[in-house]
Amino acid sequence: MMARWMLTGLLSLSLTSCLGQQAAESVVRIAPVQIHRFDKSLYALISSTDTALETQLSQAYPQMLDILGKGVLNLRSLDAEGYFRKLRAYYGEPTLNRLYQDALQHYEEVGELEQGLHAAFTYLKGELPELQIPAVYMHVSGLNQNVLVGDSLLSLSIDKYLGEDYPLYQDFFHASQRARMTSAQVLPDYLMGWLMAEYPFSGNERVLLDRMVYEGKLRYTVSQALGQADASMLLGYTQEMEKWCEANEAEMWQLIVERKQLYTPDQLTTESYFADNVTPFPGSEAPAHIGSWIGYRIVKRYMEESGASLRQLWQITDAQAILTTAKYKP
């Protein structure tokens, strides 16, 4: 379930350049990525009383309407009684309608994002030949799921990427969440969402090491696809947060080992390492999602020690084997 329903300005020129270099170096060729603007088509429907648009939208986007109905409107299928009446009522709410308009304005043009997705998927296809390239969409959920995933379909809720200072966010999200609600996170979240669907978590969700290594695999893979040196941007960390993590990495790991938290199946403790507003190290400056950061460091160390490819990394499901080979002792 976690894999199916997930989880600021334009992308920088330097990021686009790096992506372009990676794509050029790859022998893999994929079709240009086009973002299907379901978001615009749906807004045209809810802004009109013309019921003929319902048929047109159903024919053009049947899968998106079905997934949106299940993931956002709690409707079992597109054939559910009153589907479009409920759809219009949901998006007709004034605050949500204003949010919708702001999202459309913010993402009026997506050409640079399409180029970034093309370069990233080209890189991933070269490293992970079995990876399917999805059809890519945009939608507005009303601050619900960031990513919707269906059969060969990937859609991002653009209303959750309007910048951490967007007024409406202040009432609903913690600072650590808002830090990742920027357009800089759109490309990483597209990739993260699809990787989670293609490579679902197979460990024990209650075991900290299993979760850390899985999160580390995801972020290492995305960082490689985007040509990033570390995972701090993917986590919404500032430079100060990253420096704190590096300076306190050894102490954090020692505490985890001393508390015997690495292997003990404790749901609450494990979740605290990946939560937005809870820290497993009370009284410290440890940022949110510190478990993902440590997991990334373990996986990065594993890749350096083993010389494994990304494909080999994802073929290994034993988190302990990765930790052992990594010789992770900060």
Do 148 and 289 reside in the same domain of the chain? no
Which of 198, 224, 244 lies at the terminal end of a domain, its last residue? 198
Q: Is residue 8 part of a domain?
A: no
Do 96 and 132 reside in the same domain of the chain? yes
Do 297 and 220 reside in the same domain of the chain? yes
Do 76 and 152 reside in the same domain of the chain? yes
SS (H, E, C) 1-63: CCCCECCCCCCCHHHHHHHHHHHHHCCCCCCCCCEECHHHHHHHHHCCCCCHHHHHHHHHCHH
Q: Is residue 317 part of a domain?
A: yes
Round the average pLDDT of the chain to a whole number and report it.
90
pTM (two decimals): 0.89
Whose structure tokens read 């960031």? 146
Question: What confidence category does residue 74 fall into, taking pLDDT thresholds of 50, 70 and 90?
Answer: confident
Do 39 and 168 reside in the same domain of the chain? yes
Q: Is residue 1 part of a domain?
A: no
Which of 140, 169, 198 lies at the terminal end of a domain, its last residue? 198
pLDDT score, position 7: 38
pLDDT score, position 282: 87
Exposure pattern of 50-75 as b/e (b: 16+ CB <10 Å)? eeebbeebeeebebbbbbbbbbbbeb
Do 224 and 258 reside in the same domain of the chain? yes
> How far is 226 from 16, CA to CA, in rounded Å?
9
Domain encompassing residue 221:
208-326
> How far is 71 from 158, CA to CA, in rounded Å?
15
Do 79 and 168 reside in the same domain of the chain? yes
How do residues 112-154 score in pLDDT, each as one tens digit?
999 999 999 999 999 999 999 999 999 999 998 889 999 899 9
> How far is 244 from 209, CA to CA, in rounded Å?
22
Q: Is residue 174 part of a domain?
A: yes
> What is the token pair recorded at 304?
């350096």
> How far is 125 from 27, CA to CA, in rounded Å?
10
Do 20 and 149 reside in the same domain of the chain? yes
How do residues 194-223 score in pLDDT, each as one tens digit?
999 999 999 999 999 999 999 999 999 999
> Stretch 277-305: mean pLDDT, rounded?
94
pLDDT score, position 10: 29
Q: Is residue 146 part of a domain?
A: yes
∠ CA 166-2-128, nearest 5°, is 100
Q: Is residue 2 part of a domain?
A: no
Do 104 and 247 reside in the same domain of the chain? no
Domain count, the chain: 2
Do 189 and 221 reside in the same domain of the chain? no
Q: Is residue 304 part of a domain?
A: yes
pLDDT score, position 22: 45
Do 185 and 221 reside in the same domain of the chain? no
Which of 198, 226, 244 lies at the terminal end of a domain, its last residue? 198
Q: Is residue 203 part of a domain?
A: no
Do 112 and 194 reside in the same domain of the chain? yes
